[in-house]
Structures are given as structure tokens and as C-alpha cells.
Chain A
Amino acid sequence: MPAIVGVGYSGFNANTPDLSWKEIMYEAAVRAYEDAGIDPRKDVDSFITCAEDFYEGFAIFDEFVPDQLGAVLKPTCTVCADFLYGLATAYMQIESGLAEIAVVEAHSKASDIKTFGEVIRHAMDPIWLKGVTNAHPYYLAALEMSYYMNKYCITQEAIAEVVVKNKRNALLNDSAPYGAKLTVEYALKSPFVFYPMRKIEIAERADGAIVFVVASDEMARKITDSPVWIKGVGWWSETSNYDIMSFEARYAYKSAKMAYRMAGIENPSKEIDIAEIDDRFAFKEIQHIVALQLAGKYDVCDLMSEGYFARNGSLPVNVSGGNLGVGNLLEATGGQKALEIVIQLRGEAGRRQVDCEIGVAQAWRYIPTASGAVAVFGV
């Protein structure tokens, strides 16, 4: 079973005017290699970066990857998806014998994008969807939220609880720029920007880079005393047609099922100790908790207000602060999730440490998609 033997990151910040995206990649990579005790020029067999052209502003972003990762003239590729897909790719390459040590990188330089709404709109079907309205494409998430709330009686209060919990968790994370101490009442006063979605429920964008060093079972045992095993990976796509998406995060349910099967997890809500899941819109945390089978869809609201998912609760979710606290990191979102799980499993989370042995990280490919990935980690 492949394991994480080194992690490094740079960020996370609301913006990073002093460093280019190449330089934040370099910073994260240097830290990861130091953490793993390896030399990228000699020891790494494969480098994988996770990037989308239009998030970067380049036509072929892959060109600009190798130098700052130490990957010049080595097997290097781009996966057009979230970091967790990159992790799955590393897993497959290692299990195929193509690599003993693989490096996965993802970053966000969201602050370089001046017309973020237009970039998302550009991902919508050009014929069906793009021309429908000039509203900011966040409305797609609001439509889904409306459907989901109605169908499963999700309350406004429960969604406000997500915001309060995650922003508060972020106060204990030095790398989270959007921490705050709020009340549910305050959150419920935030204006609707896309009814029924409030402004405060939308994660602000952030910059940062994450690099993982992944090694084969044998190699991991050689180079570290504290490997974090990748027990399972899963990824899944529903459809590209917005009109027929489940609006219930079936992509998360299916990718979790794949990862759980690989990890031998039969009862996720009992066996999983900690979860970091995509909360780029606050309601998504609730939807993803259900999809990952961490709680029943009719219990989730009560559990949320009882503090079941709080840092000191029975099943802590988004202890790092989640996207609401750390920020929307675009394709690096899953990277930040996986990073938190690895740090927690290693017992290096300091003031926000929770007691855990098995953790799950999940990310969605953001609007307008119904695709996502899951990874299960253990020590």
C-alpha cells in the first residue's frame, strides 16, 4: 500500500503579491522534499501536477511545471483535476511499478484571476448553459442548494452552524486566512446573494501550493518511521450536463464507496475518526457528510447543531477550518484537505490536534461539475 512520506505547503493567503505561482510551487516542494528527506533530482520517479489551463491563464500549463519541482527531464505530467485525483494517479503509477517515489503537486494562484466568474462561466456548456443568464455562476450552486434543502429539510440554521464551526476552527490554524469568531445569529444576518445562499456561506478564494511525496510500501518503510498510508482512493463523475446532475453529490457517494471498499471500511460513520470535506459552499459540507455516509441525511442537521462535527465532537469535520476558513484553493482544495488529515494522523496539528487513526479527505471539482475524489488515510 503506498504511503505519504513527506508533505510541504506554501500559504494559505488571500493573495500573494510577492511570489509568482512558480515560486510558491518551489517553496512547497522544497519543504516536502525536506520533510521526506529525499533529493528530487535523484530519488523521484514521477511528478504529477494538478492544474486546469483556465485557472492558470495559460493554454498549455504543463509547460511551466518541471523546473520549480526539480522535475526537469523526468517523467512529469498534468492531471486536469483536483489534487486528490493526482494522488490517485500517483497510487496507480506506484502500483503499476512505474514509480517507487512519486510527487503530487497542486496550487492555487486565484489572486491572479481578475474575472473569476467569467472563468467559471467559461466552463459551462456553450450551447445549453452559458448564454442563459449573465448572473455570476454561483447561482448554479444556489439552485442545487435550494433543491437539496427542500428535499431533506435542511435548515438555514444548520448551514449557518457550518460557517460558524469552520471559521472558528480556522482561528487555531495559522495557515488559514479567513478565521473568525461568529455566532449563528450573525451568520443568519448575512445578506442573500443567490437566494437561498448567503454571502457568508461562500468560501473566499485563497492562494497556496501543496506538495506530497508518495512512496511504495517497501520504499516508505525504508525512508520513514511514520508513513501515513493511502488506504483507499476513489474518484467519480456523474455527467457533464448540469440539468441531470443528482444535486445530491452522488459523485462523492460513489467515489467514497470506491475508496472505502479499497480501505476495507464497512461502516464509515463508526470507523472514520476525522474528515476534511469540500465546503466551498457551506451547504456542501452537509451534503458531502451525507454522501460520505458519515451521517444520515435526516440526522445531519441535528448532529451539526449538537456539535457532533466540532473539533471536540465525535466525528470532527474540517478541523483545519475547511474552505470557509482556509479559502477556495481551486484544484489545490483536495490537497489542503489531505494535508490536514496527514498532519492530524502524524499528531503534528498542535493546538487543533484531535485523536485519530483513520481520516478521509474529499474534494469536488466545483461548479459547474458533478465530479470529485476521495482518499482514505491511516496510520
Chain B
Amino acid sequence: MAVGRKKISCPPYAEGTALSERDISERRVTIFEDHPNLVYSWTAGQAMSRFLNELKNGKLIATKCEKCGRIIFPPRIYCELCYKPIDGWVYVKDTGTVQTFSISYIDPDARPLEKPVIVAVIAVDGASPNMGIMHILGEVEPEKVYIGMRVKAVWKPENEREGAITDIKYWKPWRDEND
């Protein structure tokens, strides 16, 4: 087989016509615009329905699998590793540990935020290691956040809770009483 350097250089040419943002905003090119009305309402299912109802009570609930011994959070009705139904429900604490965090300067549409948001993955106390959720941190300066920081959920007042993950307003720094 003939290997070695060749005169051929690939890709031999680059096709495509670049546009600037103004070409679009000033409609210098032909544009078709559409705003589809796509509406879905997902049934939450057994695991998430229970989870959301417990949020209304100010509680975090997990499921357990006796085969692998995991306390699974967020809860599901099956253990995905053992592939069997879960063996019961257990409450976990509303305290936890920051596994990793980020300071976000942009919103979901990549527009700048007025005030940066601190987002974190929090491993929840009482669940198996690494069993966490993503949420927001509050009552803390961005530069004070560190991996391993202990945090506690700050709940909305009971009458404002609606059974959504936002029933927890944010998580704030917290010191264990035994420390």
C-alpha cells in the first residue's frame, strides 16, 4: 500500500456563505419566521409525584434498594443498576455537601444576568454518596463557595409551596451543630 505524503489536501475547498448578525436583523437575506405553539404536559409518574408532594411538606424523600443498599435520590421506582423495583421510601435530610459549583453570568438564552447565579450539585445527607441534585446557592458570596461546603435548604413559606423543585428557594451555608 502506498503511504506517504500526498499532494492532495482535504478538504479541498470550503463551501458555504457566511452571514453576519446584521444580515439577519436587518433582513438583508430572505428569512422565514415561525413561532410554533408546542405544548406538552408530562404526567410526573409515581416517583416524581410523591417527591413533589413531599416538597410541599418541606421534606425530601428518596427510595431504597436492598440489593445494592443504595438510598436513591432523586427517587425512582426502580433501581437502575440492579434493574428491579425499589424496596421502599425513606426521608433524607435537607442538608448536604457541595460536590461542585459554578458562578453563572448568563441566562438560559445566553443573555447576561444582572446578578450572577451560584449553581451547585449538592449531595444530600442521608442518601448514598454522590446522590445529589442540582440547585442554587444563596446567602453567600461567590468567592466564599468551595467544594465540600456544608449547606442547608431554605424553604419557601408553607403556604407558597406548590410542589415544585423551586419550593426550596436556595441552599445556604450551614454548620453542623456537632462541629
- B80 pairs with A68, CB closer than 8 A: yes
Q: Please, how many angstroms separate the alpha-carbon atoms of A68 and B37 in the complex?
A: 30
Known contacts A67-B80, A68-B78; decide if A20 and B44 are in contact (CB<8 Å): yes
A131 touches B32 (CB 8 A): yes
Task: Give the contact-size bracket for chain A.
Answer: 20 to 34
State A245–B143 Cα separation when bound (angstroms).
61
CB-CB under 8 A from B42, the residues of chain A are 20-21, 57, 109, 112
Cross-chain contact A20 with B45 (CB below 8 angstroms): yes
Whether A39 contacts B83 in the complex (CB less than 8 A), given A18-B46, A20-B48, A26-B77, comes out as yes
Q: How many residues of B contact A (CB 8 A)?
A: 22
> Are A130 and B80 also in contact (CB < 8 A) when A17-B43, A19-B46 are?
no
In whole angstroms, how far apart are the Cα atoms of A54 and B40 in the complex?
10
- Within A36-65, the residues touching B (CB, 8 Å) are 39-41, 54, 57
A204 to B109 alpha-carbon distance, docked (Å):
37
Given the known inter-chain contacts A23-B46, A67-B76, A72-B80, please indicate yes or no for A118 contacting B37, CB distance below 8 A: yes
Partner of B38, one of A17, A72, A115, A127: A115
Bound together, the chains give a CA A222 to CA B47 distance in angstroms of 37
Question: Which residues of A sit under 8 angstroms from B39, Cβ to Cβ?
Answer: 113-115, 118
Interface residues of B (CB under 8 A from A): 32, 34, 36-48, 76-78, 80-83
Partner of B45 from A23, A41, A57, A119 at Cβ < 8 Å? A23
> 1/0 per residue A99-133: CB within 8 Å of B?
00000000001011111001101100011001100
Residues of B within 8 A of A70 (CB): 80, 83
**A40 with B34: in contact, given A17-B43, A19-B43 (CB under 8 Å)?**
no
Instruction: Given A18-B46, A23-B46, answer yes or no on A66-B80 (Cβ-Cβ < 8 Å).
Output: yes
Interchain residue pairs A-B with the least CB separation, the first 7 = A20-B45, A57-B40, A67-B80, A70-B83, A114-B39, A115-B39, A23-B45
A72 to chain B, nearest CB (A): 5
